[in-house]
Structure 1
Amino acid sequence: YTGALQTVTYDIPAYRFEGCRVFTNKPPCGPKRGHGTPQPRFAIELHLEKIAHDLGIDAVEMKRRNFVKPMTRTVNWLRVTSCGLEECTRRVMDASGFRRRERRPGHGMGFAISSYLSGAGTAIYWNDMPHSEVQIKVDRGGVTTYCGAMDIGQGSDSVLAAVVAEELGLQPRDIRLVTADTDTTPIDLGSYSSRVTFMAGNAALEAARKMRALLVEAAAGKMQSPPESVSVGGGRIGDFSFEEASILAEARFGTLATAGSYTPPKIAGPYKGSGVGPSPAYSYSACVVELDADHRTGLVHMNKVWIAHDVGRAINPLLVEGQVEGSVYMGLGEALMEEQTFRKGLHKWPSMLEYKSPTFLDMPDVKTRPRRAIRSEGGGSGSPVAGHPRGQRRGVRRVGRVDRRGPGHAREDRRGTATKREGRATALRPARFSRHPLSHDDQSRTASQGAGSCCACLDLNICARRARERPRAWRPSSARARCSSRVAPTCFRSSSEGSSTSRP
């Protein structure tokens, strides 16, 4: 994904990616939200910002001109159906007042976009099997849905119940779910790659539509009316309650059991390796962030985040907002705090006691704006994704992974705006950010303000407290304090231990 997915965000006419594998004794990497894409997306967004700055043009407008267009195919043969980047960008720009806000010193706003797939178009191991299957059984006791997908905390069970319930005219609480039981449930390829709602949801929809057709046909026969005139909703099928309709259908057709499945279309390119990256649909996100930054210490205060996500139709809007806000939280941690670093072959932060990650106190005010897109394969005419009794289509896509990348890129953009310094790596800790030289104006301003805070310490409160507790045993560390020559360092090292006691 690191090399394959970078063409579905911007219209890139020529593209080449080279990667290599490195054997190391450091901890191995593993899958995380947005597999392999935060790193290159970070680089691309910063590169475009730098190009716009060098050319003297507006960075947002330059990005807009190069957005990938809907219903196109990229240079590496990835098929883009719907794309809500334009509308997502407009929404966050209008809501944040990006162009109208005052840009005072130490205050910055940043903008970034991102994208990710909605379920892989090919399985982990290539085969022609359906990617997800669902079975539905109905009797006078109610509705039971069998699905092999596992809810890993993202709410996929409630989504599947909602899809089946809407099609059968019931409430989600009326649906009994049996999931992740390989003895009783049909095949599902796993809860990974943002695929459960999209693929298991499609399979559940197909099975529910088949069941709906049986119930409607039985009720229409009893009513002596054409099936298309029978209404479904409110727990009723035509003139009958759902239980009565199920009894009529069971008497006419026997055991009421239907099955549905979903297999992505074969859309891979004609070259070797083209099976990586294709997806039935791609999700898009735009983000604006606002912060205050201290140019002397590199410390940041997060104010607000505006984020719009192209989600298709939000089956459960509350869950969608939770996913988006959770991705902002993860992006905040990666952008400003979380990092694996080593000293003399040893991990500097071997446990969660030392490893700094955000808490709810670090979260800014997040304004979430889901964007509904109705297109094919993820919503639209001819789409196999969800349906409505009156023929209205429902576009369903993944949410959350794509948002994780936008806030981090936008934070780097706005932090550079606020401090006039360019960062090229994460995490953007005060130590790393303050290593960049201050401009002449910044140095003069710093000197006039007197001694500043330590630039090489993660937590200034901890550093100051240690200095107060052991003032005589501590001495300045010229190796670790990388402050301006006009700023007095306040980070210390114990002379008896011979190693830094502050966290870099």
Structure 2
Amino acid sequence: MVDLTKGYPDKGYKIIGKPVPLMDSRAKVMGQALYTDDIRLHNPLTIKILRSPHASANILSVDVSEALALKGVKGVLTGADFKNTFGVLTISKDEPALARDVVRYEGEPVAAVAAETAEIAARALDLIKVDYALTDGVFDSRKALKPTEHPLHPELGRKNNLHKKVVQEFGDMAQGFEAADVVVEKRFRFASINHAFTEPHATQVEIDNKGNITVYSATQVPHYLHMAMAEVLEIPEHRIRIIKPHLGGGFGGKSDPFPHEMIAAKFALDLGRNVKLKFSREEVFFSHHGRHQTDLTMKLGFSKDKGITALGLDTLIDGGAYGSFGIVTTYYNGVLLQGPYKVPNFRFHVERLYTNKPMCGAMRGHGGVNPRFASEVLLDMACAETGLDPAETRLKMIHKENTLTTNEYRVTSVGLRNGLTEAIRRTNWHDKHDKLPFGKGIGVACGFFISGSALPIHWNKLPASTVRITIDHDGGVTVFSGATDIGQGSDTMLAQMAAEVLGQPLENVKVISADTRTTPVDLGSYSSRVTFMAGNASRNAAIRMRRLLVQAACELMEMIPPKYDRPEPPEDFFRQGGRKPDFEKGFLGANPDYTDGFIFEDGLIRSEKHNASVTFLEAVEKALEQEGILQVSGTYRAPKMGGKFKGSGAGLSPSYSFTAFIVEVTVDPETGFIKVDKATCAHDCGFPLNPLAVNGQIEGCIHMGLGQALMEEMIYDNGATQNPSFLEYKIPSAFEQPEVDIVPTYSDDSEGPFGAKEAGEGILAPIIPAIANAVYDAVGIRLTQLPMRPDRVVAALEREQKGGAKA
């Protein structure tokens, strides 16, 4: 059996750092895990949604009289029944639960029916008469910039369809390009892609006799949904409870509040009945929220001695009909290029446009995937023009530890240099690059990503995460967290933290999560924040509980308890006295020491100094005698940091992960088919809390990266979705999965819980340009449009053979 801990330091932990199966894995394998649609409420009504067949139209009238008259129909809703619009960002609340007066994309909800059966609800939809007046739509981001008298969102007061424009510049771009030995520039185009999660959207709502509702929904953001629903329904939050059951994948696609959730809750309140709904796969594609279609031009200056001297990009991103996470996406398309290498002169100009298509939002690697592809391809081009080895060049350019980037991100731990060095050795890079036969190639690329956003998308002064821990009379530990396990294993991670600190076996720890009635506020699963932020909160709560038990144990052993110092954060860590941050001190007292002279193990609490002990249960009983209840909370607050310029908060993170991929491919020049033979990954996630889960994330990111690289794309014809099913929308199968070699890559992050960083999103981006760079090594063509379909490969080869410009 493979030892997954090999290559990482032994820190003496009993549970942390060990390959632990996820807590819910057995239930999932045995078919016992309950997903939203599996929940059985008493006598629920079934909801069906009528969707617009047009991408752009005015609604002249909606006649629901025949639908209401149908036996078994209990209610019909239209846009007139909802006053408030909503959105995941407080500064971009532009989406209605049901369209009012205008439809902005094909598939937009126009009306909804609640009936005794699904069959009756479907028949009722056919009876609703909507009179549309078709209007000229906008389906191209470049055309969306042009002046118009009829923008999609006139409430913004603009004469075009611009949603958000961001321009930031650092350093001297002209000087940077002047200092370059070579300047390379290309235009890149990227298709919009879908999350393709297994479980479709689903919601059930239960109402009690006091008019309070419990909403079971497939969501990544229970607390954001809670706030949005209260605003849309115009009722107090305490009347709403959101519960996230098991979730069959999200990848960012369930990190918004959605119209169907508002519709279901409204029906339950209006009718006093339990209700349920589940999307078809076609409806999932209509709702979309996937990666933005992107048109990007990038220019890179490169010096053989200094590396990147300047980097600039101009980008248009097609946001679809509504805002979603789009403002954040706009920033992330630029700011995340500040790693993994130093970029002294940097400018980006990104515009997000509204179009008459399903909206785009957050997707794994949010905002950073497409520009990462462009920058890593251009870097490879620069290496080729200067005769430098692309792997060795990257190795020299990786950020050093304790670095301040050009846009004032604080980079603490960096383990990628060792990881990439080992990947180069394992793959025999120097014997293969530029030396393999035609059709065989090897490529490299690196990446950089946040470990949680330092600023919440709902601005507030609450901690980034809070965790509550209780201990029962029999010693059982329960962790309460609002964090959302979407399959990545965050429940297991939180339990590991508590078990390690309290010296308990993992099976003695239970996790209750993602329930707005019983768990503290956590802002959800997005931006790779859960392990870092909820993990720190869980660790800190467990330390507080440990100290209570030590106090009780000392009383039983008749000894003086230790005194604990509580570290306090500086007022402004980032700019103390105008100086650069002190990299030797952790943020905000992160990772407080719990080696207090006591050992928790084998059911005992033992004093090292006095060689005395009591049982864990004896200490619990004494603490309960003193406290009445054993309950503590732990929090994590992201540090104050960042520059003083507008938009400086975008991309700020307490820590950053680093990734490198070396990919080997075979390209068939006759068919254009690209086969990825092997992917070698070095991902610096700090100290891996659970190597089994980390490896699972790496394998999943490889699979998803192959999809975007080679086959996945949403296809629209004047706003009409052409491939709204898995028959037409191609995703990789097991056949496409390559051999995978995972290089243990370690750093010890001073801010991360037990030294950990993210391992869920940052892995994805660099495999895609690594494939493209391997294709160039194999057949000599530069592919700048994703996906790299066989027809594009063949066309590029034909142009190359005719002496035309490389693709």
What does residue range 1-400 of structure 1 map to in structure 2 within 5 Å? Answer: 1-101=332-432, 103-141=436-474, 142-225=476-559, 227=561, 228-238=596-606, 239-343=613-717, 346-378=720-752, 385=753, 394-400=754-760
Letter in 2 for 1:261: T
2:782 to 422, 426, 437: 422
Percent of aligned pairs sharing the same letter? 40
Alpha-carbon distance change, 437 to 183 in structure 1, aligned in 2, over 3 angstroms = closer
Superposition deviation, residue 344 in structure 1: 6.2
Residue type at the aligned position of 1:235:
G
- 1:409 is paired with a residue of what secondary structure? helix
Q: 1:402 aligned to 2:770? A: no
Q: CA deviation at 1:345?
A: 5.6
Shift of 1:339: 1.4
* CA deviation map 1:474-500 (0-9, x unaligned): xxxxxxxxxxxxxxxxxxxxxxxxxxx
Contact 1:5–1:116 under 8 Å retained in 2: yes
SS across alignment from 1:436? helix
Secondary structure of the residue that 2:491 maps to in structure 1? Answer: helix
Contact 1:110 1:410 in 2 (8 A): yes
User: Does structure 2 retain, via aligned residues, the 8 Å contact 1:11–1:69?
Assistant: no
For residue 362 of structure 1, what is the amino acid of its counterpart?
E
Partner of 1:436: 796
Deviates more, 1:319-328 or 1:244-253: 244-253
Whole-Å separation in 1 of the counterparts to 2:349 and 2:398: 23
Q: Conserved in 2, the CA contact under 8 Å of 1:8 and 1:80?
A: no
- Report the Cα offset of residue 336 of structure 1: 0.5
Contact 2:749 2:756 in 1 (8 A): no
CA distance in 1, matches of 2:437, 2:799: 17
Deviations 1:227-271 (A, max 9, x none): 544321122212333212201222244422211100100112111
Distance 1:371 1:241 in 2: 38
Asked if the contact 1:312/1:373 (under 8 Å) is kept, the reply is: yes
Letter in 2 for 1:433: V
1:184 deviates by 1.8
User: What amino acid sits opposite 2:369 in the alignment?
Assistant: P
Check the 8 A contact 1:220/1:230 in 2, yes or no: no
Evaluate the alpha carbon distance shift between residue 348 and residue 417 of structure 1 in structure 2; reply closer, same or farther with a 3 A threshold: farther
> How has the CA–CA distance of structure 1 residues 326 and 7 changed in structure 2, closer, same or farther, with 3 Å as cutoff?
same
What residue ranges of structure 2 are gaps of 5+ in the alignment?
1-331, 562-595, 607-612
Q: Deviations over 1:362-413 (max 9, x none)?
A: 10011112322113222xxxxxx3xxxxxxxx21211021111111110000
Shift in Å, 1:133: 0.6
Query: Matched residues in 2 for 1:407 and 1:328: separation?
Result: 7
* 1:420-477: CA deviation from partner (whole Å, max 9, x where unpaired): 111111100011121124488x689xxxxxxxxxxxxxxxxxxxxxxxxxxxxxxxxx
Q: 1:225 to 1:100 in 2, by over 3 A?
A: farther
CA-atom RMSD in angstroms: 1.9
Superposed displacement of residue 194, structure 1: 0.8
Query: Residues 139 and 247 of structure 1 are in contact (CA less than 8 Å); yes or no, is this contact kept in structure 2?
Result: no
Letter in 1 for 2:641: I
Change beyond 3 A, Cα 1:346–1:258:
closer
Rounded to whole Å, the distance in 2 between the matches of 1:288 and 1:221 is 58
Structure 2 residue matching 1:22: 3-state secondary structure: strand
In structure 2, C-alpha distance between the alignment counterparts of 1:377 and 1:400, rounded to whole Å: 18
Quote the offset at 1:138 in angstroms: 1.7
Query: Hey, what's the Cα distance between the residues in 1 that align with 2:525 and 2:602?
Result: 32
Q: SS of the residue aligned with 2:556?
A: helix
Give SS of 2:467's match.
strand
So what's the TM-score if we normalise by structure 2? 0.52
Shift of 1:349: 2.4
1:341 positional shift: 3.0
1:42-95 deviations in whole A, cap 9, x for unaligned? 000011111111122222222233222221111111111112221121121111
Q: Which has the higher strand share?
A: 2
Give the secondary-structure state (helix, strand or coil) at the position aligned to 2:681.
Answer: strand
Find the aligned partners of 1:324 and 1:443 in 2 and give their Cα distance: 40
The whole-number CA distance in structure 2 between the counterparts of 1:312 and 1:299 is 37
Change (3 A) 1:341 1:154: same
Aligned AA (1:283): S
Q: Distance in 2 between matches of 1:301 and 1:125?
A: 43
State the distance in 1 between where 2:524 and 2:668 align: 46
* CA distance 1:230–1:24, shift in 2 (3 Å): closer
Structure number with higher relative contact order (C-alpha < 8 Å, ≥ 6 residues apart): 1
TM-score of the aligned structures, taking structure 1 as reference length: 0.82
Which residue is equivalent to 1:450?
none
Change in CA separation of 1:107 and 1:134 when aligned onto 2, cut-off 3 Å: same
Check whether the contact 2:415–2:686 (CA below 8 A) recurs between aligned residues: no
Q: Structure 1's 430 and 225: CA in aligned 2 closer, same or farther, altered over 3 A?
A: same
Residues in 2 aligned to 1:372 and 1:62: alpha-carbon distance in whole angstroms: 21
Which deviations, in whole Å up to 9, do the C-alpha atoms of 1:5-57 show, x marking residues without a partner? Answer: 11122101111100112232233212110111111000000111111111222
Task: For residue 152 of structure 1, report the CA deviation from its aligned partner.
Answer: 1.3
Paired letter, 1:115:
F
Contact 2:501 2:546 in 1 (8 A): yes
Secondary structure of the residue aligned to 2:787 is coil
- In structure 2, what residue type is equivalent to 1:2? N
Deviations 1:280-332 (A, max 9, x none): 00001111111111122211222111101101122211111101100000000
Give aligned pairs, total.
429
Measure how far apart 1:107 and its partner are.
Answer: 0.6
* Separation of aligned partners in 2, 1:91 and 1:73: 26
The alignment partner of 1:221 has SS state of: helix
Distance in 1 separating the partners of 2:498 and 2:388: 50
Opposite residue 320 of structure 1, the aligned amino acid is V
Q: Counterpart of 2:786 in 1: which secondary structure?
A: coil
How far has the Cα of 1:130 moved from its partner? 0.3
3-state SS of 2:649 partner: coil
Query: Does the CA-based 8 Å contact 1:7-1:75 persist in structure 2?
Result: yes
The answer to whether the 8 A contact 2:687-2:749 is kept is no
